[in-house]
């Protein structure tokens, strides 16, 4: 079956009362939105983009802020319907008010094929790729630059802007007077990886 991941904010609210909690869910399948709406009520979930974070602020008081660059563009992937149906049964369990599983309430029995039909209709005309192959490629990307880049960025983030500029001068890394601490960190990390900025 075809499926696509997304990021959701789930708002939990008492009936006609104040908002109690907002939970971000990163990388859940889009068909799970229907299950969450069934549990928490229509309109309780909304999609959002997961954006890169940049370190901003003064040393010792710096905070990670959204940079504007979307981290993931989730592809349409191919997964098996029966294992996914079973996973959803375990993850979401029984319906809060009806004696049936949430996934069964929304998509019927697995033998009806409504879960697969949802993906086929929503992503009609899109080929879809093997999910495991995509995950391997993403992990290679993360292990190749992402994880080490974040570790190095964290290590360098304790330095002041002046110290980072001196580091750039010592290693012939070009920067401009208008560069922020975050942009200089990116230039240092790219230089250390051998990638031109």
Question: Model confidence over 34-51: pLDDT tens digits?
Answer: 999 998 888 888 887 765
Sequence-distant (6+) residues with CB within 8 A of 72 are: 5, 27, 50
**pLDDT for residue 122:** 94
**pLDDT for residue 18:** 60
**pLDDT for residue 73:** 73
**pLDDT for residue 146:** 47
Determine if the pTM surpasses 0.95.
Answer: no
Element (H, E) at 29: strand 19-29
**pLDDT for residue 54:** 54
Sequence-distant (6+) residues with CB within 8 A of 16 are: none
**pLDDT for residue 3:** 94
Q: Which long-range contacts (CB under 8 A, 24 or more apart) does 98-101 make?
A: none
Q: Which residues of the chain have pLDDT under 50?
A: 145-147, 196-197
**pLDDT for residue 183:** 83
**pLDDT for residue 110:** 92
Dig out the tokens for 149 from the structure.
């880049």
């Amino acid at each position: 079956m075809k499926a696509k991941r997304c990021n959701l904010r789930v708002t939990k609210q008492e009936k006609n009362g104040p908002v109690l909690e907002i939970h971000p869910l990163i990388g859940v399948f889009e068909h799970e939105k229907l299950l969450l709406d069934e549990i928490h009520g229509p309109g309780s979930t909304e999609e959002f983009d997961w954006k890169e974070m940049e370190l901003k602020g003064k040393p010792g008081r710096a905070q990670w802020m959204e940079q504007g660059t979307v981290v993931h563009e989730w592809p349409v992937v191919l997964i098996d319907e029966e294992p996914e149906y079973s996973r959803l049964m375990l993850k979401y369990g029984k319906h809060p008010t009806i004696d049936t599983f949430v996934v069964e309430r929304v998509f019927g029995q697995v033998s009806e094929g409504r879960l697969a039909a949802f993906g086929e209709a929503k992503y009609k005309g899109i080929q879809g790729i093997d999910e495991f192959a995509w995950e391997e490629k993403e992990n290679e990307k993360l292990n190749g630059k992402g994880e080490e880049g974040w570790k190095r960025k964290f290590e360098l983030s304790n330095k002041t802007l002046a110290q980072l500029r001196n580091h750039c001068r010592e290693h012939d890394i070009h920067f401009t007077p208008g560069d922020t601490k975050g942009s200089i960190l990116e230039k240092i990390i790219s230089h250390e990886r051998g990638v031109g900025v």
